[in-house]
Structure formats: C-alpha cells, structure tokens
Amino acid sequence: MTEDTQALAAMARLLSPHCRVTAMSDGALIADWKRTRFIGMATADVRKLTEGSPVERAELIDALRRAGCATDRRTPRAEAVVGTWLRGVHLLIRTAGFGRVLRMMSLAAPGYARADAPSADEVARLKQAVRTHSRDSWLVNGDCKAEAVTAFVLLRRSGLEAVLHVGVREHPFAMHAWTESAGVCIPDADPRGHAFTSVLAIDCWGR
C-alpha cells in the first residue's frame, strides 16, 4: 500500500496542471480536464515509477508526454502560459469591450468541475504568476479586468471552481474585477484597502 501511494505521488508530480490522478482498485485513473477525457493505468505501470528500471520509467514518462498528460521538462514552466493569456485577454477586452468578453465566458470556461476542491497554494501560485506577468507587461500594466478574466479562464479550464466578480464603490465611484477561488482573490478584492461591493458574479457557463 505504501509503495502504491508513493507511485501515485510520483505520477502526480509528473502530470500537467490540468491533469489529476486518482487511485483505483486495479491501478490509477488520470483525469485530463483540458481535453475532457480519462486515461486508465494498470497497477504494474503505476509501480514502474518507483520500482521499475530507469528504462521502464523513461518509457512510462514518455508515454504520458505523448498523451499530453505530462509536460516536457525542456519546455517553459506552465506559468509562462499565463503571460500569453493575459496579453490576449487584455487585447480582446480593448477590442470587443469588457461586457462582451464577460458574455463569452461560457465559451472559454467549461461548465464541469472536479470533485476535489481547489488548493489555496495552487491558486496562490497562479495569483503570483498573473501579478508578475501583469506588472512586467507594458501592455497589460496591472489591468484588473484582464487579470480577473485570465485567472477565471485558466482555473475553470483546469476543472477548478472559480467565481468572477465585478464590483463597484460609490465614493469616489470606481469599478473593479477579481476572481475568487479557494479563498484567494486574483487580483486582490480590495486593492489599496478600498472595499468593492460585488454586483455581478459569474461561475460556470457564464452565469
């Protein structure tokens, strides 16, 4: 049992952020939330990660990469994708308008959700990546709308629960957008200590 737990933990470290492994009675099940598919693995294959020879482990890892479930270590970190999404979302908002982009959420963000709750650490890492790319980009330059939409889409495409909020304050009047997941807000719900009242909340299917 301990060996199986270690093997599953090793596999979890290899998988891409959009994949999650679950122990089964006869092996493991990989849920690929990006492609909406499930891949089964026999117990013997799972144990190769901890008990197999270097050649067997390499073959298994290569198979996971070919299936799109594991990221090649020679490629940039997954967080690098955040910058591309952030710039694209910012340009889309400037071109189509924030209201139209919000109505498109049902197309960009899937309606299903994983059974397991999102991890606060996982969401915090995404928040840091969004913040870094936003502040470093002269194009985005800390745009809360682009940050919130990007975080919402990436979380939902990973099968994680998330809610996109649009809030207002009266004195002085201002609007702000943020995405909340696992108790973490991207960006902060109260920037510079100013509280905003949520007037619109979108979870799945643009509701």
Q: What is the CATH number of the domain that holds 124?
A: 3.30.460
8 lies in a domain?
yes
Taking the complete model, does pTM exceed 0.85, yes or no?
Answer: no
What pLDDT, in 10s, does the model give residues 180-193?
A: 999 999 999 998 88
- What is the reported pLDDT for 100? 94
Split at pLDDT 50, 70, 90, the class of 86 is: very high
The pLDDT score that the predictor gives to residue 180 is 96
CA 145, 149, 152, 158 torsion: positive or negative? negative
Same domain, 98 and 36: no
Distance between CA 135 and CA 62 in Å, rounded? 36
Residue ranges making up the domain that contains 105: 80-202
pLDDT of residue 7 exceeding 50: yes
Specify the pLDDT at position 2.
63
Residue-level pLDDT at 97: 95
- Same domain assignment for residues 193 and 91: yes
Number of domains in the chain: 2
- Given the structure tokens 């490629």, which residue do they identify? 75
pLDDT mean over 86-115: 87
Asked if residue 207 is part of any domain, the answer here is no
- The DSSP secondary structure of 88-143, one letter per residue, reads HHHHHHHHH-HHHHHHTHHHHS-S---SSPPPHHHHHHHHHHHHHHHHH-TTTSS-
% of residues, the chain, pLDDT over 70: 91
User: Is the predicted pLDDT of residue 23 greater than 80, yes or no?
Assistant: yes
**172 and 92 assigned to the same domain:** yes
The overall average pLDDT reported for the chain is 85
